[in-house]
Amino acid sequence: MSWEDRLLEASYISPSGIPFNFLYEDVSYEFDKKTTSFIFPDIDGAYVQDMGVGENRYPLNIIFCGENYDLEADRFVKALKEKGRGTLIHPKYGIKKVVPFGTIKRNDGIVNNANQCIFEIIFIEDNIRTDNSLLESISNIIDKIQNCVDVYAQYASFNFVKTFAVTSVGELITIRDIATQSFTDVFNQISYIAGINDDYDSILKLLNDSFIDTINEIGNKPINAINMLMSAMLIPAQIPNYDVSSKLDIFENLINPKLKTKYNKSIYDANIANTNFAIDKVFMYTAAAGMCQSVIYSEIKTRDKALEINDRINNNYNNIQKWLDDNIKSLSFTDDESDYNNILELISQTKNYLVNNAFNLSSANKIILDEDRNIFELVSELYGSLENIDDFISLNKLNIQEIGILPKGKEIVYYL
């Protein structure tokens, strides 16, 4: 892994939880030693009093560019004016709780550098304050995420019914087939969780037994069909103690095949095309909602994992939104933006949760052994006890021969 691989995606999250990704110029880090020198007459040299270290400063030139750079920059200005600590994901120096400090300068290159502006900011790390409300604030974010999922589902079903249009028996049969295929795709994926939890096995069986009847009634009760589809899709997210990466795998396996579908109104019946796309829109947004909901029903133990999950969710959401935008344009589809706004809020709250949580989690460290080491001695040295030895063995994928003596030159990963 090179230094480039260790860089993070630069981002700032305001005190109210609004995230901003940005580009940047060369970075630097400054701090002061709290020292004073005393010079005495007739004595060469000096006595230096060292009182430790002062503030950590992170000067950044932050860049927003593109056709809507000005709108994003305006939002960023409002975020910088918020009172309190924000969270800076520094590309080089990691996650920091910071306050934008002093004079902030915004340069809009209207003449020489159109389509971009540069903010000159110094962020100072606020790392002394004792935040007794941290656990409460994380709990509040979890509640907000769940509420966002509920609000999305409510509006999505309502908007689907508004779009649903079938004027003939032939169209109805086609729509039934399309809906059946969507359910089949979902059940094929969520079948992987069978046997993990008895309660969810019962729910799966109930849905599987009833979905045919629900699909057959889609012409009269489309809201029932779309609600059942969303309920089925969200099941994997809600299983406790199931690996979060495995949950995201399920949703990615639902999303990726759909990304290959391209709509063109010239080759579809208008009603079928719009209703088919409306089903797929709910399908894709619900997959994104499931990814977000997965993080609050799973244990994320390390900072690296939290940031990895954050990147996966953002990348999938961006792919989904581009796919939706392209097909909305191709179909001249009349879209209600409430679904977009609800999902965007859900993505923002999830990022807020992951980044705030990551700040308090362990971070990965790597070492290369310069001599053969006894595993028990090494784990005791790294962690101060043997309580983490099972996690250490699993994390480093140690084989039978290595559970005892670790060879010189082996790369070891541990968390602190």
41 domain residue, yes or no: no
Say if residue 144 is in the same domain as residue 71: no
Alpha helices by DSSP H, listed for 191-243, are: 198-216, 222-234
**Per-residue pLDDT tens listing for the chain (416 residues):** 678 878 888 989 888 778 889 999 999 999 888 776 766 566 677 767 677 788 899 999 999 998 889 999 999 999 999 888 888 989 999 888 899 998 999 999 888 877 899 999 999 998 755 444 455 466 778 888 988 999 999 899 888 888 887 777 888 888 888 888 888 888 887 776 655 666 666 766 777 677 777 877 887 888 888 888 888 888 888 888 788 999 999 999 999 999 998 887 655 577 788 888 888 999 999 999 999 999 998 888 788 888 889 999 999 999 999 999 998 888 887 777 888 889 999 998 898 888 877 767 777 777 888 888 888 888 888 877 777 788 788 778 887 777 778 888 888 888 76
Give pLDDT tens digits for 291-323.
999 999 888 878 888 888 999 999 999 999 999
Query: What are the C-alpha distances in Å from 312 to residues 205, 249, 288, 300, 361?
Result: 30, 10, 10, 14, 19
- Residue 224 DSSP class: H
From 125, 147, 167, the end of a domain falls on 125
Query: What are the C-alpha distances in Å from 3 to residues 12, 45, 93, 161, 311?
Result: 22, 41, 12, 51, 18
- Residue 238 DSSP class: G
Q: What is the pTM of this model?
A: 0.62
Question: Per the structure block, which two tokens stand in for 10?
Answer: 């630069």
Q: List the one residue out of 213, 210, 215, 207 whose CA is nearest residue 233.
A: 207
Say if residue 232 is in the same domain as residue 317: yes
**Residue 393 lies in domain:** 364-415
Question: Per the structure block, which two tokens stand in for 83?
Answer: 């009172």
Say if residue 111 is in the same domain as residue 255: no
254 domain residue, yes or no: yes
Q: What is the dihedral of CA 350, 190, 298, 282, to 10 degrees?
A: 10
- Residue 362 DSSP class: B
104 domain residue, yes or no: yes
State residue 8 phi and psi, 5-degree precision.
-100, 160
Give pLDDT tens digits for 231-282.
888 888 888 878 899 999 999 999 999 999 888 765 557 778 888 888 899 9
From 309, 334, 358, the end of a domain falls on 358
Helices (H) and strands (E) in the chain, counts: 11, 12
38 domain residue, yes or no: no
Beta strands per DSSP E along 112-226: 116-125
What's the pLDDT at 131? Answer: 47
Say if residue 354 is in the same domain as residue 380: no
| 67 close to 114: Cβ distance less than 8 angstroms | no
**CA gap 223, 228 in Å, rounded:** 9
What's the pLDDT at 41? Answer: 64
From 342, 358, 374, the end of a domain falls on 358
State residue 99 phi and psi, 5-degree precision.
-125, 125
Alpha helices by DSSP H, listed for 168-302, are: 169-190, 198-216, 222-234, 244-258, 270-296
45 domain residue, yes or no: no
What's the pLDDT at 29? Answer: 93
Say if residue 206 is in the same domain as residue 69: no
Say if residue 178 is in the same domain as residue 264: yes
Domain count, the chain: 3
3-class state of residue 162 by DSSP? helix
**CA gap 38, 34 in Å, rounded:** 14
- Residue 44 DSSP class: -
